[in-house]
A and B are shown apart, each in its own frame.
Chain A
């Protein structure tokens, strides 16, 4: 029994090596990490810049957030971006000059802001109640999203390409007469993919969050990654065994990527309030992953029960489908 299992494990590992599975994962890791560290972390939106035209030098003290310009034309040109606020002191009464940004509320605040800067009252401090600064939040947020996508889409595809290769080579038919149980056939693949997904999780988290922060969140993240990996691998296995060729499988993959993960991503990233998203099972997996990265305990017992039940159900149906497929192959 154990000999057979290790034999299968070795064979699957070789198949993954020859299918360049690890090279792909490494490539994704480098690509994601470069994007996070060089682009995403730096994303910010600065406060409305204020430009001042003051030919008579009436303002002796100028706040550091103000840029002086030499003429009315320069002031108008600087405000053409529909974001900046201009102040013209050349006439008797100060004039706030701004181009509408298209949002009434934003325009209203821009006017308040321009006035406050002019009067020098733009100060104060809001109470900070969170634990993370912007950079750390960005890192955690995007790492959670990339990991979710990688596990839900790419692992799924990797398993399918492996299985289709095996199908082509007739491994399933050969397996029908081998003295190894069917569940072991699934189990060896599951174990390998789970291990590689967990390794990917550790590397992605370590590289992008830093060693200490990663250490803090990894236990919770690994648990969620494990759940997601098992569910996706089993779904991938089911579909790959069921569907006759890779072409149909890629169609299914496209549907999954566009219609299953995109709404989840939109809801998670922008905070759009859609009521129906609560009934989207993948949304809860995504929320759990994100909560794990932010060390928030929002996951509950029913969630884990559902996950466990789902995994068992998927495993049983994978066994059944494999049995049917073997019967079909003779």
Chain B
């Protein structure tokens, strides 16, 4: 306990460490402030028309299916359609009909919409030949926002890793690691102190971030806390690995960079692209962050299908990596013949 007090004292002097934990909170506030509309408009189909050329009822009709931007000239419309960062479909009025144009680099969904839009426009006044049943689902309407929030929460949970690794490498460079070797401090209690430090920091940072930008029901608090505690423990442990086995600050930074990319990119990718029942999706549980990410997205969507597999995967990870660390540590001690 005394050791932990010293660790906390050393952290207090380290602005970098404090900032590591404050970062997700700041990003959480930024996401919270992002208005729902501006995020929503990104995922809408966007149409571009030339001002005064398109008939008013065409614009009104287009607005039912997406956002409409009016440009002053056809040149401006051409360059907006060609702009690589947008998915804009250009719509040109030709008498009673419309013509569409695309840049050719759009996603399939927008390509098909552009191809079929003129035909749909012609048939817009025909009476409905079908009965439409649109079922409103009770779920959050901010798909992208919840995705961003989940990413931020995962980052916060796994910040303990960055923090521990940086902290340990710095201790090595400052020579504190050497001093520790002559102090009455066992390797075991050192590891426990460091894990506790990363764990407490990661947990606190995630809880603050979650309070800012996550709305949960009371029934979801317990599963969320379980995921959080397991992830924060795992991340502190991974930080311990990086800190123990990195030789210098630069190597540490690169390893952290790679680990953070590996922890963030694949879960998002698998979640969005790969179907749930695919073998590859199951394999993605090899990464602890994937399990945490799926579980949090489930909580956002008010579902619980992936919650228990995720908790099981995280527990297995926690036990497995603790044993691996212990074994590696004893192996090193045997090789170096001492502490």
Interface, chain A (partner B; CB < 8 A): 19-20, 24, 27, 31, 35, 39, 43-48, 82, 87, 93-100, 102-103, 105-109, 111-116, 118-119, 121-134, 136-138, 140-141, 157-158, 161, 246-248, 250-251, 254, 258, 268-272, 290, 294
Contacts and interface: CB of A to CB of B under 8 A. Distances in A.
B76 to A, nearest CB: 13
B85 A269 contact: yes
B27 to A, nearest CB: 8
B110 to A, nearest CB: 8
B251 interface: yes
B194 to A, nearest CB: 18
Interface stretch (B124-132, B219-227, B287-295): B124-132
A290 B104 CA distance: 18
A118 B130 contact: yes
Contacts of A131: 104
Contacts of A136: 105
Contact of B82 (A99, A130, A248, A250): A130
Contacts of A111: 132, 134
A124 B119 contact: yes
B109 A96 contact: no
Interface string B98-135: 01111111111101111111111001000011111111
Interface string B43-54: 111000000000
Contact of B131 (A96, A124, A290): A96
Interface string B79-95: 00111111001100000
B114 A126 contact: yes
A99 B137 contact: yes
A19 B23 contact: no
Contacts of B170: 247
B84 A140 contact: yes
Given A44-B107, A105-B65, A124-B116, A95 B133 contact: yes
Nearest to A118: B130
A128 B123 CA distance: 23
B99 A127 contact: yes
A38 to B, nearest CB: 10
Interface residues of B, number: 75
A129 B177 CA distance: 63
7 contacts: A100-B137, A102-B142, A122-B112, A124-B119, A126-B111, A269-B85, A271-B85
Contacts of B26: 258
Nearest to B82: A130
Contacts of B258: 27, 31
B123 A102 contact: no
A47 B23 CA distance: 38
Contact of A130 (B14, B104, B250): B104
Contact of B112 (A47, A98, A102, A138): A47
A138 B83 CA distance: 13
A161 B173 CA distance: 13
Contacts of A132: 84, 103-105
A21 to B, nearest CB: 8
B4 interface: no
A100 B134 contact: yes
B250 A19 contact: yes
A157 B82 contact: no
B89 A116 contact: no
Given A94-B129, A95-B130, A100-B137, A123 B104 contact: no
B108 A124 contact: no
Contacts of A20: 250-251
A136 B86 CA distance: 15
Contacts of A294: 84
B35 to A, nearest CB: 12
A95 B249 CA distance: 64
B65 A129 contact: no
Nearest to B133: A97
Contact of B44 (A105, A116, A123): A105
Given A123-B119, A129-B102, A269-B85, A103 B134 contact: no
A96 B130 contact: yes
Interface string B17-28: 001000100110
